[in-house]
Amino acid sequence: MKKLLPLFLLIFAAASFGQTRGLQVKYDKFKDETTVSYVRLNVVKTDLSMIIAADYPGEKLAKDHDEFSLSFGCRAVCFSPSLSTKLIMLVDGERITLTPLSSRPSIDLAIFMLSRVQLKKLADAKLVEFQVGSYEGVFLDPDHENIKKMLEATTATK
């Protein structure tokens, strides 16, 4: 998942505000690696953006992919290094708490890991509310739809 950090930073550097991008599946023939990502800019006002991503070797999966990153970031300071940057989600009322991948997240990026089971809960939920750092927000219908597409794109085919 360390490979996803440059992808995340590149998307924020090139992104214009107010966009939601659909699911993107990109195969890199030189690295023989596939990256599946969903980007939503301005999750909270114009400050915070979100990327859900997975990368795996090769062009086709031999088995279902089980590990996904959920990243929140901004172009300026959005997380205090002195405060906890836990991600707390209320998924149809059920609390899910995640700690950042790094014990010392940066001031502009926090990366969390999700299992396939957790991602499926987000996709199937009627309401997903979240708090990360001092930001609070909700997942919208396009988020749920694109997470479902991500699960399909990371499911092995026979």
Tokens describing residue 42: 């301005």
Give me the residue spans of the domains in the chain: 4-153
Q: What are the average pLDDT values for consecutive 10-residue runs of the chain, which has 158 residues?
A: 47 44 89 93 76 92 93 79 82 94 75 95 95 87 92 89
Question: What pLDDT is stored for residue 134 in this prediction?
Answer: 81
**Quick one: pLDDT at residue 9?**
43
Is the separation of the CB atoms in 7 and 25 below 8 Å? no
pLDDT of residue 8: 46
The predicted pLDDT at position 14 comes to 40
Element (H, E) at 133: none
**Angle of helix 116-124 versus helix 141-153 axis, rounded to 10:** 140
Q: What pLDDT does residue 17 have?
A: 40
Residue 53 confidence (pLDDT): 95
Q: Which fold has domain 4-153?
A: Immunoglobulin-like (2.60.40)
User: Helix or strand or coil: residue 127?
Assistant: coil
Read off φ and ψ for residue 6, nearest 5 degrees.
-60, -35
- How much is the pLDDT for 151? 95
